[in-house]
Structure 1
Amino acid sequence: MTKKIVVTGIGTSSPLGGTAPETWTALLAGESGAHTLTHDWVTELDLPVTFAAEAKVRPDEVLERQEIKRLDPMSQFGLIAAREAWEDAGAPEVDPERLGVDFATGIGGVWTLLDAWDTLKEKGARRVLPMTVPMLMPNAASAAISMRLGARAFARTDVSACASSTESIANAYDHLQQGLADVVLAGGTESAVHGITIGSFSAMQALSRRNDSPATASRPYDVSRDGFVMGEGAAVLVLETEEHAKARGARIYAELAGGGVTSDSYHITAPDPEGWGAARAVRAALAQADASVDDVTHINAHATSTPVGDIAEYKALHAVFGDRVHGIPVSATKASTGHLLGGTGALEAIFAILAIQNRLAPPTINLEQQDPEIPLDVVTTPRALGDGPQLVISNSFGFGGHNSVVAFRSV
């Protein structure tokens, strides 16, 4: 028998705010998290892109000194978001062997890895920190959350580029359906605003180069879009069976109705230009949700602001919804937050959940002249979704042809 899976807690540390409520408020206000980077290494490395969307609240403002020393920044953000989500869910009393973690990152501990490499070259092997490997490994954030909350059912890690944390949510749905846990923390994290990632993404012409105007650089669907804006942070959802949530009197935000995961098998960085793999992921999510295309009331799009990616996603959506897609309110929230890579899907899942709870689609900023090849109904100011049943999908697509989509339903 299919179980109903519900969301009972949310948490984030994002470029717009240090908590989920702060982030949502800033998103509705049309704020941008992008700004010019002031680090010395930006000038020293002569980077072609000098801005990004860093997390608004730094980990050292939240975590203890010992936690900072033992965790890479990506794990620090993950732990911060998980703590908030756990408290938001009421810190449920659950058998540790029935509590699981499905977490994600796209890159892992890049800061730890490259700092250790610099230390090795400049000071020798004896000065490399003994915690280097435990800090840089991609599963470090999942492990940190598991140890902090005593989750012993499992602590798994998805690494599928920018689709990672959406895939972790889809996997958590499956693990709860399979009875492997009663409660799962799912989400993702990334802290890769670093010279090597900025240099690499710039070399492949994936980043916007609007150094003179960071706040307006990410402009999904605009004819002048020229790439995405690097972001960082983390987001976490507390998921549990409805039966478990009701038994403990938990507040329920929304139902996680289903998820879909597919692969393009097309190109290591470019999406399938026709969006067939992405379309299959949308259909799979709707099928698992036992929903039709007519049930969807809002879409949080992947929409990175790249010339090729935005069009491919539109083609995927049109393949699924037909001309009805032109009447579905679409939000492209990376315009405000930047692109959190492996953490972005979980953050946008929270936006989908809050859109349902508040009956309000968040705005897409910086859209000045919409690309006529993408005739979507883009939300540019907060828009009411109405009082009826809501079904919202959130899309994530990543390098390697990874496609992940999750669907949330009002309760």
Structure 2
Amino acid sequence: MPTEPSSGKKPTSRRYSPEEKAGAVRMVRALRAELGTEQGTVSRVARQLGYGVESVRSWVRQADIDDGYAPGVSTAESARIKELEQENRELKRANEILKRAAKFLRRGARPPTQEIVDFIDTHREDFGVEPIITVLRSAGVTVAPSTYYDTKTRALSARAQRDAELGPALVSLWEDNYRVYGARKLWKAARRAGHDVGRDQVARLMRCAGIEGARRGKRVRTTKPDLAAARHPDLVKRRFTASGPNQLWVTDLTFLPTWAGVAYVCFIVDAYSRIIVGWRVASHMRTSMVLDALEMARWSRGNTLPGLTCHSDAGSQFTSIRYGERLAELGAVPSIGSIGDSFDNALAETVNGYYKAELIYGPARSRPWKTVEDVELDTLGWVHWHNTSRLHGYLNDVPPTEFEAAFYDAQRNDQPLVGIQ
């Protein structure tokens, strides 16, 4: 029997051996048989033995289930369930480790030991050292725990010290840019942030951190051409270039599913700087959503823009009379590519493609889209990032706003100063 706690001290809970539990169960069952009732038997035995009443009650309940006297999950079944749950957790952990290690595992050759050690260091807080080593071994990358710890106890080389400083900075940059940058753009972003780092070093540290750039998916057709409608000529002929802002805009529609229905998105992009000058997210794809995007572009760029060409595909929204009238108010000329040829509006479709790859289905998105309003709110943030921070290879890896600012600075510097009379 358990000993009574000494006076003046807080009672402490104790563990009961399987024999003690089984003995209590036998006493309860014997008392039930003697009295012909279950009422009061548990509390009577518990007081007699000095055990907790609820503890004895739970032992008796579980014993009745195990022996088939009552429905429920037996001890053996419960143990098996816990075992399966543990196996499931270990499988999920192994899959996550392999997912993060995929960047350097897919190269085929064994990574250098220091790179493996760096990978373990990066993820040890999430998974632990031994589980990572075990999973890497199963993938053909063998490193002994002693090798890892020996490497850690040695004095860090200059390269290792540099890696320890740069690694977290690169991950932070990657996180700040929707987790979409690959090695080249992350290298450019790091250089812009003041880090003296090479592209190969960035690629290696990305592998160690288990991060990679976003990949674009396939294009999905959205707008439907109105074959019977009068169409404006193609004034662009696939030349998506301009010598300055507000000379050529391109526009198109795309869509994505949400729990509440389909969300349609329209972007208007300036071909010179790739800046998104207008956009709209709606639950429909009527002409009015395109006009809303055009109104935003008008508000951001000016009420009259003579010499502007606005290029689109042959969707019914862009061949409508209302769309043509709105462009005329701006002083703009409409242009429409040929039907069924995606290359005739390639720039707009490129923007749609990386919008989906970076935001809609991007690595920073961990849950499905619930409503059109959710899409609209997050698109607002993405457009701001796209225009002010996203590095564009076409623009020599600077953001659109910076590229346009350089254009206007050059314009001002080329203008002669007017003297005051």
Q: TM-score range by the shorter chain?
A: under 0.3
Higher strand share: 1
Structure exhibiting the larger radius of gyration computed from Cα positions: 2
- TM-score where L is the length of structure 1: 0.24
- TM-score where L is the length of structure 2: 0.23
Higher helix share: 2
